[in-house]
């Protein structure tokens, strides 16, 4: 009978103790409040996808293949498990490691975006996906690294004030905008542009230059209006009203159909008319089946995540941490509230999912990974007193 080597049991014991010690440190340093709210939102997402799955399964069934009512729910649970693993792994990284991962992911996804027009897969008139064993949308995973990349570049100025960090970031944004509009993907362009604007504001540049960037963004929107027919139609429908069968109109009717308390789980009827009940318009499904009160709770949960992150940054002295965490939070909150406003018919339709709640494959994993990197970047030793960060310390960026 084989016996263990004399030192193998002691090595295994030391490994287990070190592992437990690392997990204990992680649990002490992690923002447990944000982690808890993220898990609550994912739980709500599981229930919401189960509610919206029958509508989408019926809509996408054919004469040759009938999808089970919970088809998208089962798929969503698998992606959520992968997303949870990705979030846990990322959140256990050190701040330096999270920064490197974000920068590498941003570079890799920008490279894939360059390839999308040539080798990408076209769906519904847009070429946004690349098949690498499974179909992935590079712009979704770019959300994990884009704010980190910009924060890293902007933080160079703390070491050398002469580096034109704002110009470099603007060049990155211009390249990204051109690659996204080549697909075309105006919604993601707007989201990344908003994240860029938030980080530029936090970097402390003069108001004159902020006005220049705002003007450039306005010019970009005007150009899009005259060159991108789908985007122009969505803006026209939002400003001047469309037909009763427009997606946003159907979404609003579905949202309000449940009243304050909702019709009950699987009791909704208007959701069957929605084109993307399990993804883009899942907030309307929640409103119909669980009521406006449930919708308000979801909005408050998103606000709680953003508020908690900002409060955690109040006493942070590291410029990169402030910028990266703020950029990731702005991107996360921006996507959430754009989706909600579209469902309320208060914003033009953008084809944007509700993060952590909507069904998604690679998008679910990407959001979870981004939240894991955010948790890693905001890790801090609770026993170390930190000096308050001040934007005045950055100096003049003129």
- Residue reference for tokens 């530029």: 200
Residue 70: count other Cβ atoms within 10 Å of its Cβ: 15
CA distance 325 to 327: 5
Q: Mean pLDDT over residues 25-45, rounded? A: 92
Bigger pLDDT: 222 vs 168: 168
pLDDT in tens, 110-119: 998 888 877 7
Do 253 and 270 meet the contact criterion of CB atoms below 8 Å apart?
yes
- 195 neighbors 146 (Cβ within 8 angstroms): yes
**pLDDT tens, position by position, 257-289:** 888 888 888 888 888 888 888 888 899 999 999
CA distance readout (Å), 43 to 38, 51, 80, 175, 279:
9, 13, 10, 37, 15
| pLDDT at residue 79 tops 60 | yes
- Considering only the C-alpha atoms of the chain, give the largest distance between any 2 of them, rounded to a whole number of Å: 82
Q: What is the pTM of this model?
A: 0.84
Supply 381's token pair.
């030793």
Pairing of strands 121-123, 126-132: antiparallel
Quick check: 102 pLDDT over 70?
yes
Q: What is the pLDDT of residues 305-361, one digit of tens each?
A: 999 999 988 878 888 999 999 999 999 999 999 999 888 887 777 778 899 999 988
């Amino acid at each position: 009978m084989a016996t263990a080597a004399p030192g193998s049991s002691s090595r295994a014991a030391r490994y287990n103790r070190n592992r437990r010690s690392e997990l204990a440190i992680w649990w002490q340093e992690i923002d447990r409040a944000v982690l808890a709210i993220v898990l609550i939102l994912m739980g709500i997402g599981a229930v919401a996808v189960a509610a919206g799955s029958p509508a989408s399964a019926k809509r996408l069934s054919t004469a040759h293949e009938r999808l089970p009512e919970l088809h998208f729910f089962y798929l969503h649970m698998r992606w959520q498990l992968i997303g949870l693993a990705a979030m846990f792994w990322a959140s256990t990284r050190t701040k330096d490691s999270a920064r490197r991962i974000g920068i590498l992911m941003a570079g890799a996804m920008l490279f894939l975006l360059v390839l999308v027009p040539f080798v990408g897969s076209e769906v519904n008139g847009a070429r946004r996906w690349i098949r690498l064993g499974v179909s992935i949308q590079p712009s979704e995973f770019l959300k994990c690294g884009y704010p980190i990349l910009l924060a890293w570049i902007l933080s160079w100025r703390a070491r050398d004030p002469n580096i034109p960090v704002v110009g470099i970031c603007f060049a990155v944004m211009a390249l990204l905008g051109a690659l996204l509009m080549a697909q075309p993907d105006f919604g993601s362009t707007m989201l990344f542009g908003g994240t860029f604007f938030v980080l530029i504001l936090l970097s402390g540049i003069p108001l004159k230059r902020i006005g220049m960037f705002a003007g450039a963004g306005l010019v970009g929107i005007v150009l899009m209006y005259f060159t991108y027919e789908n985007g122009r139609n969505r803006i026209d429908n939002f400003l001047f009203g469309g037909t009763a069968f427009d997606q946003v109109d159907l979404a609003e009717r579905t949202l309000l159909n449940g009243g304050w308390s909702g019709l009950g789980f699987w009791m909704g009827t208007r959701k069957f008319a929605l084109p993307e009940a399990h993804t883009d318009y899942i907030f309307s499904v929640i409103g119909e089946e669980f009521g406006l009160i449930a919708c308000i709770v979801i909005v408050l949960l998103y606000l709680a995540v953003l508020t908690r992150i900002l409060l955690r940054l109040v006493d942070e002295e590291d410029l990169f941490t402030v910028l990266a965490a703020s950029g990731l939070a702005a991107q996360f909150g921006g996507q959430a509230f754009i989706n909600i406003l579209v469902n309320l018919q208060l914003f033009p339709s953008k084809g944007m999912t509700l993060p952590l709640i909507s069904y998604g494959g690679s998008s679910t994993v990407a959001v979870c990974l981004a939240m894991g990197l955010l948790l890693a970047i905001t890790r801090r030793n609770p026993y170390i007193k930190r000096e308050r960060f001040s934007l005045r310390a950055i100096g003049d960026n003129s």
